[in-house]
Amino acid sequence: MYALIFYYVYKFTNMVILRNASYLVFFLFFFTQSSLAQFQAKNKILKLRYQSIPLSQYNLSDEGRRSNGSSTSHQDILNNIKDYYSLYINLKDRSSIYVLDSTKKDIPKGVGVSLADKIEFTFKSSENKTFKNEWVLNQVFFSEGKVGDIEWELTNEQKTINGLKCFKAKAKEREWMLTAWYTKEIPVSNGPSIYQGLPGLVVWVEDFFRTTEIIEVSYSNNVEQFEKLYAKRNDIFNSKENIKHYEKEPLLIVKKSDAANQIYNMIHGKRF
C-alpha cells in the first residue's frame, strides 16, 4: 500500500498555507521600490519564513494521489510533513543565509516515510557565491556555486500568490523540472536555498522533490544574530577538507536531475 514511500528509500525523491496573509499584504502596502531605501535605513535584516513539503506535481503517481476509507494516500502523508525555514538577508551587502528551523510531521502511526532529500542550510556571500549543505539518500553533500548557476527563462505569465503579484520563471534546462514564481513587490533578488538570480524575491518554487512557499515577512535589526548564523556555517565550509561529498554547482543539480528523471520514468512510465 505504501510501496512508493519505501521505494524512495533507495531513490532521490513541497503548496502551503500562508499563516499570516493579512500581515503580509499590510507589509507590502509600504514595501515598494521607492520605499526600499527608507526601510534599509531603519532596518538591516529582512527575514522571510518558508514552508517546504516533499511533494511536487512530478513525484506522485495517480495511485499515490488516491485514498480510501481504510488508508491514507501517499499525497496526504507527504502533505503533512513540513519543513520550516528562515531566510535572512543583509540589506547592506545582500549576503544571506537560509536555515532549517524545524520539521513537523503529522502522519498515521505505523507509517514509515523515508525522504530523499532535505536542505540543512544555504548561505550566499556578498560576492554572490553560494554554499549549500543538504542530505540526499542519507548521504551528506556540500556544494559550492554562484548566483547564475541556474539560468532562468522569464515568462509573462502572472498570478497572485498570498497577496503578492508574481511572475513565472522556469529553468532553461527543462529536465531540471524547476519552476519559480517571484515578485517585484519585494525587490530583492533572493529566494530559498540557491533559487536566486531573478528580478525579485522568490515566493514559490517547485522542483521534482519539493514545493516551497513563503509564509511570513518581517524585519529585524539583529545583525549580531545574522553574523553568528553566517559565521557558523562559513566555518563548516572552511574545513571542507574533512567533508567527503563536496561538489561544485551546477554539477550537483545535474546529478539530482538525472536521478529525478529516472524516478519520473519509473513512476509515470515515460521520460519527462
Q: What is the pLDDT of residue 44?
A: 92
* Residue 227: count of CB within 10 angstroms of its CB: 15
Query: Pairing relation of β-strands 139-146 and 179-183?
Result: unpaired
Q: Are the beta carbons of 100 and 85 closer than 8 angstroms? A: yes
Q: Which residue has the cell 495511485?
A: 63
Q: What is the pLDDT of residue 166?
A: 98
Q: To the nearest whole number, what is the mean pLDDT of the chain?
A: 84
Q: What is the pLDDT of residue 230?
A: 97
Q: What is the pLDDT of residue 72?
A: 73
| Sign of CA pseudo-dihedral 55, 59, 62, 66 | negative
Identify the three-state secondary structure at position 24: helix
Residue-wise pLDDT for 197-247, tens only, equals 999 999 999 999 999 999 999 999 999 999 999 999 999 888 866 677 888
- Asked if pLDDT for residue 261 goes beyond 60, the answer is yes
Q: Are the beta carbons of 247 and 133 closer than 8 angstroms? A: no
Residue 136 pairs in a beta bridge with 117, 139
Between 244 and 183, name the one with better pLDDT.
183
Between 18 and 267, name the one with better pLDDT.
267
Q: What is the pLDDT of residue 241?
A: 65
Q: What is the pLDDT of residue 217?
A: 93
Name the DSSP letter for residue 255: H
Give the total residue count for the chain.
272
Would you place residue 42 in the very low, low, confident or very high pLDDT band (cuts 50, 70, 90)? low
Q: Are the beta carbons of 180 and 195 closer than 8 angstroms? A: yes
Q: What is the pLDDT of residue 64?
A: 67
Closest CA to 6 of 80, 74, 69: 74
Q: How far apart are CA 131 and CA 123, in angstroms?
A: 5
